[in-house]
Structure 1
Amino acid sequence: MKRIIKKFRIDKRIRAGYGSAFLILLISYLITLYVNRQVLEQSKLIEHTNKVIHNLEDFLSLMKDAELGFRGFVINKDKSFLTPYYQSRVKAGPLFYDLLTQIINSKTQRDMMQQAKKLMDRKYDFLNSAIVQFTENDYRLTDSILQYEKEGKANMDSLGIIIKMMQDSERDILDKRSYDLQSRHHLLNTVVIVSLIVALLLFVFGFVTYVTENRARRLADRRAETYRQELEERVKQLDKANKELLEMRRMEKFAATGRIARTIAHEVRNPLTNINLSVDQLRTETDPDEENRNIFYDMITRNSHRINVLITELLDSTKFIELTAEAVSVNDLLDEALQLAKDRVTLNNIKVIKNYDRDICNISVDKEKIKIAFLNVIVNAIEAMETGKGILTILTYGENHKCMIEIEDNGSGMDSETLNKLFEPYYSKKAKGTGLGLTNTENIILSHKGNISVESEPGKGTRFIISFNFA
């Protein structure tokens, strides 16, 4: 009982351990999922900030390209150098609105972007006016062009300052977001490491628990196997002792029956002798012509003879007989007994199945008497089966240094009361049976130091198990 309680506690502890580990892993997985999502969002924000910084740089570069294109036109007096200027004007508008969309969440940045737009438009106005005047004055520099150049430079410096301020602001945001990303990355690593540690602890816990429980289970299995073997051995010993006891009781019963039979035979035969002598005397003293008296004398003599025959049969079936032993094959003896019962087998349309051990050793028996014993058993089996549906199975094999014979039928079977009285003299349920056939069979087998037992159930047939020592 204590072992069962202890096992229950161990099982409860194992369940609690696995349940806790599973819960921890589930929580760590959810945290990992959440942190990973935050890391992805932060990465997108960092990417967005970097894009804003680069677009601001591109915005300023467009102004520089426009200014460089104008200077190349002035120096070389070739309008092809104005291509960067025109391209800058084309790209500036979309880039401005793109930047404005990207910084829509920051009012300060939007205000500065609006200022940058004004400075950009003013810068383009200065450059456009300078290009027109330079062209109209036959590509000569004038004071107004120089003034445009001076004001454009100041405008460009202001634009550069605003763009730099915006970039610095975005870089501050970038630094903060990078720090947040790093923090979340560290948190994610921590959660992963903790999860791995928990998983490792779970593995170690499971392994140790499995090894412990497996060791205990193997020990319990070995003990159970030992107990089982001991129990089987004790059952075998008990079965052997029980069989020996039954055999001893049967021998005692058989001997007691023989003693009773001999006593009855002695006590009955003496009066029968006197009766027979008296009848003979009366025959000689009475008139031979008195027919009625002779009929009664014959009746007395006939029944006296009948009683004497019955007593002789009882004595013969309950006394140990003298044997003329020889080494013979039990398979051959069974075949000869079957041959003697061939007419009955054919008449009742019985199917015979023989499963002989062909390598079985010989037995030392009185051949004719053992054939009588086998024949009695076979005849009883045939008479117990239904005509046309009977199956007689005969089996021989060696077991525990003994020759074993099994004769089995699929007849009506017997109840426990019939089994207990089966070998008693004059016990028979047959209409014409004397009740001495199986008694004589038992006498023959016991005289050979053999053993006979019967297994039967109503409706399931009967099996006779006979054993002899090998020759």
Structure 2
Amino acid sequence: MKRIIKKFRIDKRIRVGYGSAFFILLISYLITLYINKQVLEQSRLIEHTNQVIHKLEDFLSLMKDADLGFRGFVINKDKSFLSPYYESKMKSGPLFYDLLTQIINSKTQRDLMQQAKKLMDKKYDLIQNAVDKFIASNYQLTDSMLYFEREGKANMESLAAIIKTMQDSERNLLAQRNTDLVSRSSLLNTVVIVSLIVALLLFVFGFITYVTENRGRRLADRRAEEYRYELEERIKQLDKVNKELLEMRRMEKFASTGRIARTIAHEVRNPLTNINLSVDQLRSETDAGEENRNVFYDMITRNSQRINMLITELLDSTKFIELKAEEVSVNDLLEDALQLAEDRLKLNDIKIVKRYSEDICNISVDKEKIKIAFLNIIVNAVEAMEPGKGVLTISTHEQNNKCMVDIEDNGCGMDSETLNKLFEPYYSNKTKGTGLGLTNTENIILSHKGEINVESEPGKGTRFIITFDFAR
């Protein structure tokens, strides 16, 4: 508990104490309102159940009144005694539909009520037939009257049994609702008591915090001093690590620069050697014929152009280039790049899988340069796959309001070291590669303010992910 207290500033802890107390009282009030609503609803349901029970009793009483009126008519031979029968018959319909509305949520009760209605109608028919027979026989009791008496009694017993079943069901429901009412009332009392206890504890917490304010501040100052000392030590450690990282980066840069220098020296030395040999030959053969001199001149010119091309390629791969942007479909650009690589694809029997998004928006790019970038990636993918077994998958889609291009092969893949150096100038694992193709590709993508990322594992293929902004 003390550790938790120390995590807060003193004045903040006081606010937390009193604020929490107020918040808990507010929650308690809302819960109380909710439970009160439930209690009122439960009370309403209990009242409703009581009404149903009483109306079922009234329903049965109507039958008894009809039967009583008929008996008075038979005994006194006076039609005025049939008034209870007619009143019962008149009231039975509205009472039946009222009850049916009250028990609308219970299919079992509705079915029983329908049975009771049939028995009621049958009872009224029996009484009416008995009245008609009694009058027709000049108010004399006959065998048919006895038959009506037996049928009426059996009908009444069946009706009473159904009404009792319905009342028992409603009484069971009433008992359950009374139990729910008691439990909700108990819950309401528990919530109120618990919330008051918690609020009281929080008030006490705030008061104790206020009393111990000065001691808490001194402890906080001392802890702040300890943290400051630890922070200074951490800063020193981070500074040391940062220097080591800078040193590692310098070493990596030095190694990369050395590799580039060695590659350039190797590439330039060969044509320079040819030039020097040609010049020496010209000097030693001053009397050589015109044809021989032209051969040496051509050799000097060709190798000079080779050196100039190497330098141009290096400059083009490391500088941002001028763009002639136009709106174009990225799907069309990929199709053009595949057309340029068609001979390589057919020669190596590479299977092409296209997953283009048909409704993807256009991009604003220099389409010739982007085709070169796509072509470089496709050519690298073809060279990484085994002829006859290669599968090149190209897909386009939209993600985070960006145009995404995925170019994936199932070739030999790359290790982490190769991935880290993949875009460095003159870095290549190919025997005849210059190491400038992917460098130039990255330069083209970055010049368009795009992104290029590579995912690869040895033996599992390589995936290039290129991202462009949509044309505005």
Normalised by the shorter chain, which TM-score bucket?
Answer: 0.3 to 0.5
Name which structure has the greater RCO, CA cutoff 8 Å, separation 6+: 2
Larger radius of gyration: 1
Scaled by the length of structure 2, the TM-score of the pair is 0.41
User: What is the TM-score normalised by the length of structure 1?
Assistant: 0.41
